[in-house]
Amino acid sequence: MKFNEALKEIKTYEAGKPIELVVREFGVEPKDVVKLASNENPKGCSPQVAKVIADNASRAYLYPDDSMFELKEALSKKFDVQDDNIIIGAGSDQVLEFVSRALLTSGDSVLMSQVTFAMYEIYAKQMGAKIVRTPSYRHIVSEFIEAYNEHKPKIVYICTPNNPTGDATSKEDVLAIINAVSKESLVVVDGAYMEYAAAKDEKYRIEPKDIMDFSNVIYLGTFSKAYGLGGMRVGYGIANAELIYELYKMRPPFNITTLSLAAAIEAIKDEEFVEESISLHAQEIKRYEEFAQEHGFKYIDSYTNFITYLFDETIDSTEISDKLLKEGVIIRNLASYKMNAVRITIGTQKQNDRLFEVLERTLI
Ligand SMILES: *Cc1c(COP(=O)(O)O)cnc(C)c1O
């Protein structure tokens, strides 16, 4: 059987390792596993949301409201846009997939920074597109403009704050890139961690409203990170109505679940939970910065719910990650991104205590 030629170019996405794997392979008790690998909210989700999910359990046999009217209404209020500016996906990942399928054909190219969210490449390659990367892991305006002019990519991805590095691109720089791109190309502004960046420094805050006037820009957001609903798989794209209309042609019916829909609607009502999550995070991340300073390695100033530690040649990120894993502490090795670095989700105080204790022993 012959598969689509495009598949030859694709390496499967390496997801953060699950708790179950550590329990199975290393015999660690589930309660002793500390999972700091997938940028989940360590506080869990809002208790109000958990209650709504439980209350809706008996409605699981029903398909969800396919218009997603209530969720779109809540999002349109939150972001001051119209409901025809919004498309909902099973995670913003699914919206990325819609974008890729709606725009790319074999031979097109797409542009992204050197080290960024791995799914951009995978969705683009599924369509037979070529990947162009800027030289730096940070989003540098001049590098984007130069690469854009040379390759005329069909899609330009701006991940701010950026995963897996944690740095962010200012609104001013994002607008500079958008302004340099012709209306023949789409700019995707992926704000999966925007809540954290906006809370840290206003100059990084990008609202869908700020970029909606451009016909060729889409903003992506998700409930997976600050809202603590990774397991519910709800994300959204916000753009002008014509673009959303085209993306809708890619959407399968009932693409999020009845429980996910109820959870996301409730999550928007409890913004206080998000604020609390961000302030816990702001306290705890300081300890990660201090730990790095004390142990003499570098880190990237983070605008997200994780921190990226950069090691010199005396420390090997794969070795460190493997040793931690055996002790039940799951972090994300960035060796597959060709970086001698690890990405660690900021956990609860207790989880972080354990991480520091194990990492300290491992480093000696
Ligand atoms: C987590 C993440 C997403 C999307 O996650 P979903 O769970 O699919 O909503 C998108 N972009 C980046 C950069 C992410 O880190």
Q: 13, 45, 93, 193: which to mutate for ligand 1, most atoms within 8 A of CB?
A: 93
Q: 190, 238, 337: which to mutate for ligand 1, most atoms within 8 A of CB?
A: 190
Taking a C-beta distance cutoff of 8 angstroms, is the pair 116, 157 a contact? yes
Average pLDDT, the chain: 96
Residues 28-53: tens digit of each pLDDT: 888 889 999 999 999 999 999 999 99
Residue at token pair 């999020």: 256
What was the pLDDT predicted at 328? 93
* Ligand 1 atom showing the smallest separation from residue 93 Cα: 8
Burial class of residue 13 (count of CB atoms within 10 Å of its CB; 0-12, 13-18, 19+): exposed
What was the pLDDT predicted at 27? 86
Nearest Cα neighbor of 186 from 225, 240, 142, 251 is 240
Ligand 1 centroid, distance to 97 Cα (angstroms)? 12
What was the pLDDT predicted at 15? 77
Taking a C-beta distance cutoff of 8 angstroms, is the pair 259, 57 a contact? yes
C-alpha atoms less than 13 angstroms from C-alpha of 330 in its C-beta half-sphere:
22
Show the tokens assigned to 316.
């090997």
Q: How far apart are CA 321 and CA 333, in angstroms?
A: 6
Residues 110-159: tens digit of each pLDDT: 999 999 999 999 999 999 999 999 999 999 999 999 999 999 999 999 99
Closest residue CA from atom 2 of ligand 1: 192
The strand pair at 186-190 and 155-159 is best described as: parallel
Question: CA dist 364 to 129, 216, 317, 334, Å?
Answer: 45, 51, 14, 21
Taking a C-beta distance cutoff of 8 angstroms, is the pair 301, 4 a contact? no
The pTM of this model reads 0.96
Residues 259-277: tens digit of each pLDDT: 999 999 999 999 999 999 9
Q: How far apart are CA 110 and CA 77, in angstroms?
A: 32
Q: What are phi and psi of 191, to 5 degrees?
A: -105, 40
> How far from each other are the two terminal CA atoms of the chain, in whole angstroms?
52
Element (H, E) at 112: strand 109-112
Q: How far apart are CA 16 and CA 38, in angstroms?
A: 5
Distance of CA 349 to the CA centre of its chain: 23
Q: How far apart are CA 195 and CA 197, in angstroms?
A: 6
Ligand 1 environment, Cβ below 6 A: 91-93, 117, 159, 163, 190, 192, 222, 224-225, 230, 235
pLDDT in tens, the chain (364 residues): 999 999 999 998 877 778 888 888 888 888 889 999 999 999 999 999 999 999 999 999 999 999 999 999 999 999 999 999 999 999 999 999 999 999 999 999 999 999 999 999 999 999 999 999 999 999 999 999 999 999 999 999 999 999 999 999 999 999 999 999 999 999 999 999 999 999 999 999 999 999 999 999 999 999 999 999 999 999 999 999 999 999 999 999 999 999 999 999 999 999 999 999 999 999 999 999 999 999 999 999 999 999 999 999 999 999 999 999 999 999 999 999 999 999 999 999 999 999 999 999 998 7
Show the tokens assigned to 257.
């679940």
* Ligand 1 atom showing the smallest separation from residue 223 Cα: 9
* Ligand 1 atom showing the smallest separation from residue 90 Cα: 8
What was the pLDDT predicted at 25? 86
Ligand 1 centroid, distance to 296 Cα (angstroms)? 31
What was the pLDDT predicted at 174? 98
Enumerate domains of the chain plus CATH numbers.
5-45+272-363 (3.90.1150.10), 47-270 (3.40.640.10)
Ligand 1 centroid, distance to 314 Cα (angstroms)? 32
